[in-house]
């Protein structure tokens, strides 16, 4: 009895076990199918990701290439701009250098010209001095003092030949002539007037005619408007006065001055203040 019960129990358990094993097979098959689906899905996802990544890389590569191209273009333009700027700076530096050199040359040329001008003035003074000495040595034949000029029967001293800068008023000039054994020049005729005028032209110290005058022995100190030479001869010839002269200027211009006039070589006199004005002078010794 017990043996029969045990047999039946074992059989029942075996029959139930077969059913359980069948269910496991279904589950296993289902799991396998699920794994296959998951595997296929993983493959599909992998392919899609790879494609998406490739597309993204292509897009990124294209954008990066465009950016690199733009950067390269900007660098090229920047290099051109920098090159142009450097070229402009070099051109400016050269222009400044040339300007500086030109300015220095102009300054040097000015210095040279000033030196030449001084040399010309010095040579002119030396020429006048030599001419005076030649006249004294070659023409006076011992009749006139050294440095004096001879014309007809008179000897003439032009203070310019002794000093181009020393000037005196009329009174001091006459004192100088008297100390030399002479007196201020007395112009007696047209030939002497011409000699005096042309000699003054060779000794002019400036372009301004008023500053290049020489005192002569002619005054209207005693009677205003009546001009008398130092030899007491009244001047009656009016054509030698410059236009508008003598005019006295209401300041006591009582002494005559001889000049050279480019406009009219015969109008070579004007009146001036005897004490205030400082000028060159002409002395005369009459040898007759």
Judged against a pLDDT cut of 60, whether residue 145 lies above it is answered with yes
pLDDT for residue 131: 59
How many whole angstroms separate alpha carbon 272 and alpha carbon 248?
A: 7
Cβ burial of 67 (10 Å; 0-12, 13-18, 19+) is exposed
Q: What is the pLDDT of residues 152-188, one digit of tens each?
A: 989 999 999 999 899 999 999 999 999 999 999 999 9
The answer to whether 161 and 129 have CB atoms below 8 angstroms apart is: yes
Q: Residue 281: which pLDDT band, with cuts at 50, 70 and 90?
A: very high
Q: Which residues are CB-neighbours of 149 under 8 A, at least 6 positions away?
A: 132, 135, 136, 139, 155, 156, 157, 158, 199
Name beta bridge partners: 258. Answer: 214, 269
CB neighbours of residue 124 within 10 Å: 15
Mean pLDDT, residues 83-103 taken together: 89
CB neighbours of residue 80 within 10 Å: 10
The answer to whether 224 and 248 have CB atoms below 8 angstroms apart is: yes
How many whole angstroms separate alpha carbon 275 and alpha carbon 288?
A: 32
Which range has the worst mean pLDDT, 7-21, 91-105, 108-122, 225-239?
7-21
Q: How far is CA 190 from CA 34, 38, 149, 155, in A?
A: 151, 145, 18, 17
Quick one: residue 200, left, alpha or beta (phi over 0 = left, psi -120 to 50 = alpha)? Answer: alpha
User: Which residue is listed with tokens 């030479």?
Assistant: 229
pLDDT for residue 81: 77
What's the pTM value of the predicted model, to 2 decimals?
Answer: 0.53
Four-CA torsion 171, 176, 182, 183, nearest 10 degrees: -10
pLDDT for residue 17: 46
Three-class HEC string of 203-231: CCCCCCHHHHCEEEEEECCCCCCCCEECC
pLDDT for residue 57: 55
């Amino acid at each position: 009895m017990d043996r029969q019960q045990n047999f039946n129990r074992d059989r029942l358990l075996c029959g139930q076990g077969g059913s359980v094993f069948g269910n496991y097979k279904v589950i296993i098959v289902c799991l396998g199918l699920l794994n296959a689906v998951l595997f296929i899905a993983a493959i599909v996802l992998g392919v899609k990701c790879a494609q998406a990544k490739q597309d993204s890389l292509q897009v990124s590569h294209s954008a990066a290439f465009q950016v690199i191209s733009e950067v390269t273009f900007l660098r090229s333009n920047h290099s051109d701009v920098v090159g142009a700027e450097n070229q402009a700076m070099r051109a400016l530096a050269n222009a400044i250098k040339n300007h500086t050199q030109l300015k220095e040359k102009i300054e040097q040329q000015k210095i040279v010209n000033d030196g030449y001008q001084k040399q010309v003035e010095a040579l002119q003074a030396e020429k006048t001095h030599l001419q005076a000495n030649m006249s004294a040595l070659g023409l006076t034949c011992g009749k006139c003092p050294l440095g004096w000029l001879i014309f007809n029967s008179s000897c003439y001293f032009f203070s310019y030949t002794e000093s181009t800068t020393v000037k005196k008023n009329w009174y001091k000039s006459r004192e100088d002539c008297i100390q030399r054994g002479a007196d201020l020049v007395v112009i007696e005729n047209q030939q002497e007037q011409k000699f005096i005028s042309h000699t003054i032209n060779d000794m002019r110290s400036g372009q301004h005619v008023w500053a290049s005058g020489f005192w002569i022995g002619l005054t209207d100190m005693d009677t205003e408007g009546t001009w008398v030479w130092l030899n007491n001869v009244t001047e009656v010839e009016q054509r030698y006065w410059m236009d508008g002269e003598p005019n006295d200027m209401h300041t006591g211009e009582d002494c005559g001055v001889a000049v050279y006039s480019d406009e009219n070589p015969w109008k070579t006199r004007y009146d001036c203040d005897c004490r205030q004005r400082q000028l060159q002078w002409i002395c005369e010794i009459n040898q007759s």
